[in-house]
Amino acid sequence: MEQTIVLKVNGKSSSVTIDPETPLLYALRNNLHLNGPKYGCGMALCGSCMVLLDGKAQPSCIMPCSAAAAHNITTLEGIGTAQALHPLQQAVIETQAAQCGYCLNGVIMCAKQLLDEHGSPSEAQIKEALQRVLCRCGTHTRFIAAIKKAAAMK
């Protein structure tokens, strides 16, 4: 049975009328038209659906909307704009880290949490942060370089 749920996404409160058990990913993409988080596996194994919940990278494909309503949600769209890119977005572009884009959202969201918690993370910390993200193209080495570059830009 559908209910109206208020989600605080990218600093703005939005009401969605939805079944409370619907995964947050579907509300973000279908109701709020935010395309940063992607559907990948639907089982929280690939990382393509990552969002920040209160600053922590979490998969949105298995989290019910009702559980997400109590949190501040940040999507890829909420960390920078075309006019003012976040340092991570700028570094990914400059290092040409992205290829197919399947993992890009997850990499940036996990890296954002990492940089917020550890301004200048070690390579080991970067690798650990990216373990939750499946990259089909194998561009993790370029993502590591991009994250190091973003840390230096902050």
CATH number of the domain to which 135 belongs: 1.10.150.120
CA distances from 78 to 13, 21, 43, 124 (A): 13, 24, 24, 27
- Look at the chain and report how many structural domains it folds into: 2
- Is residue 34 domain-shared with residue 57, that is, in the same domain? yes
Which pLDDT tens digit goes with each residue over 12-47? 999 999 999 999 999 999 999 999 999 999 999 999
Q: What residues contact residue 95 under an 8 Å CB cut-off, 6+ apart?
A: 142, 145, 146, 149
- One domain, residues 52 and 106: no
Q: φ and ψ at 53, to 5 degrees?
A: -110, 110
Task: State the DSSP string of 39-105.
Answer: -S-SSSSS-TTEEEETTEEEESSSSBHHHHTTSEEE-GGGS--SSS--HHHHHHHHTT--SS-TTHH
CATH of the domain at 24: 3.10.20.30
Q: Quick one: DSSP state of residue 132?
A: T
pLDDT over 80 at 154, yes or no: no
What would the pLDDT profile of 53-69 be if each residue is shown by its tens digit?
A: 999 999 999 999 999 99
Residues 147 and 93 placed together within one structural domain of the fold = yes
The string of pLDDT tens digits covering residues 83-94 is 999 999 999 999
pLDDT at 36: 96
- The secondary structure element, H or E, covering residue 109 is helix 104-117
**Host domain of residue 120:** 87-153
Domain final residue, candidates 45, 78, 111:
78
